[in-house]
Amino acid sequence: MGKRVAVVLAGCGVFDGSEIHEASAALVHLSRGGAEVKIFAPNIEQRDVVNHLKGSPAEEKRNVLVESARLARGNIQDLAELKASEFDAVIFPGGFGVAKNLCSWAVDGKNCTVNEHVKSTLQAFHSAKKPIGLCCISPVLAAKVFPGCEVTVGQDKNVDGRFPDAETASAIVELGCKHICKNVNESHVDEANKIVTTCAFMCKAPLHEIFDGIGTMVQEVLKLA
């Protein structure tokens, strides 16, 4: 029987929700790994709505669960209903929605608050010694909830202009965590905490390299599950 994995989304679209390619890559690799997947998102209003064509704010309101349902093809549940006891692992794709809707990192940086259901979900899997997979900006959730953990968001310097958000690594260190420098096609496994991270679109890289990096994260999560 395949591993039971929960995937937590943050909306639909890179600038105000989950990064679509990352979410899709995680789901493809989970499918290939024989996992049984259920998708969740918090039933809350988005922090903002961005016109993805213009890159500017839109004067409207959207719900994170409703927007995430687009990616889940309608088969999704409220994050409040997620029970860690029913799963072997949990995975959080990235996207600005993580930093805006799942926590307030986009506004408050390392002083952010984490959504109560997101925090309790992370704590429940961690307490049960079940693996947690995170990519792109999502590792900041672990850094905030689990001081002392090891994560990667890529490099801690803007190597060849490919890591424009390298300062995120410094903020993670300021939270008391260890940042491990990794390339886009790699992931890092914090064996002690069973946290697996990969940088994905924190690196300016071809889509197939990001897809492959997420694949390594998913494979490591399934191994630990």
Active-site residue set: 136
Rounded to the nearest 10°, the torsion over CA 68, 203, 88, 149 is -120
Q: In what order do the strands lie in the sheet with 4-8?
A: 77-78, 36-41, 4-8, 89-92, 132-135, 195-198, 188-190
Query: Whole-angstrom Cα distance, residue 58 to residue 61?
Result: 8
Question: What residues contact residue 124 under an 8 Å CB cut-off, 6+ apart?
Answer: 83, 84
**Residue 118 to residue 82: CA distance in whole angstroms:** 10
Token pair recorded at residue 82: 């997620």
Closest CA to 29 of 186, 185, 212: 212
The DSSP 8-state label assigned to residue 156 in this structure reads S
Among the listed residues 213, 210, 219, 215, the one whose alpha carbon sits nearest the alpha carbon of residue 131: 219
